[in-house]
């Protein structure tokens, strides 16, 4: 799949003609990926291997670039790490830290909703991993977009009856420099 993505991405602006129906375009490839559930398939296995997740990143970046990533796809990526082995969580968090910058505002909002929902049910170790991911996103922020989202997330969590004060202190301390 990645070789085909590379090929169709290499020739993005061909002159449209009647003969184009014979060519595989980036748009057609994105549709094929969606129609055949490729993302769901690649999220099922081998996520503990960084090399595998690097290949997944290429597919995900292509889907994002073609504006074909849905909120359901984002849910599937997030769910792929939920309750899984530490290596899988790390790899998915690394993946999200890399591709989140290419998300639309709606996708970014949805990702932060995923963080907030996970936070409520996570154990201490899961919260630490989540904090690390959120910190990485805020730390790499050059325009203040992520920082604003992080502050909004913490504000919402701070005003939630479901989040103990000690957990909120942990979250805030993780982001103070």
What is the domain partition of the chain in residue ranges? 26-83, 104-176
Q: Give dist(CA 113, CA 91) in Å, integer.
A: 20
State the pTM of this model: 0.80
Percent of the chain at pLDDT > 90 equals: 47
Q: Where are the alpha helices (DSSP H) in 36-164?
A: 38-42, 50-65, 71-79, 86-99, 105-121, 124-139, 145-158
Which residue has better confidence, 20 or 120?
Answer: 120
**DSSP for residue 15:** P
pLDDT digits (tens, 9 = 90+) for 18-39: 455 667 888 989 999 999 999 9
Strongest mean pLDDT among 55-64, 119-128, 143-152: 55-64
pLDDT digits (tens, 9 = 90+) for 49-58: 999 999 999 9
Judging by beta carbons within 10 Å of its beta carbon (0-12, 13-18, 19+), is residue 63 exposed, middle or buried? buried
Strongest mean pLDDT among 86-95, 150-159, 167-176: 86-95
The 10 Å Cβ neighbour count of residue 51 is 9
Q: Give dist(CA 20, CA 31) in Å, integer.
A: 16
Q: What confidence category does residue 76 fall into, taking pLDDT thresholds of 50, 70 and 90? A: very high
Which pLDDT does position 18 carry in this prediction? 46
CA 59 to chain centre: 12
Judging by beta carbons within 10 Å of its beta carbon (0-12, 13-18, 19+), is residue 95 exposed, middle or buried? buried
């Amino acid at each position: 799949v990645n070789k085909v993505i590379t090929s169709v991405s290499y020739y993005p602006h061909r002159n449209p003609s009647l003969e184009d129906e014979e060519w595989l375009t980036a748009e057609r490839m994105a549709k094929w990926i969606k129609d055949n559930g490729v993302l769901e398939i690649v999220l099922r296995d081998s996520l503990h291997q960084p090399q595998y997740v690097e290949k997944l990143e290429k597919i995900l970046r292509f889907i994002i670039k073609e504006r074909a990533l849905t909120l359901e796809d984002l849910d599937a990526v997030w769910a792929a790490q939920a309750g899984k082995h530490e290596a899988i969580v790390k790899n998915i968090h690394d993946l999200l830290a890399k591709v989140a910058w290419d998300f639309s505002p709606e996708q970014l909002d949805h990702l932060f909703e995923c963080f907030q929902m996970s936070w409520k049910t996570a154990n201490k170790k899961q919260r630490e991993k989540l904090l690390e991911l959120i910190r990485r996103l805020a730390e790499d922020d050059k325009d203040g977009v992520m920082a604003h989202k992080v502050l909004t997330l913490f504000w919402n969590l701070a005003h939630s009856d479901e989040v103990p004060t000690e957990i909120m202190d942990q979250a805030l301390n993780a982001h103070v420099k």
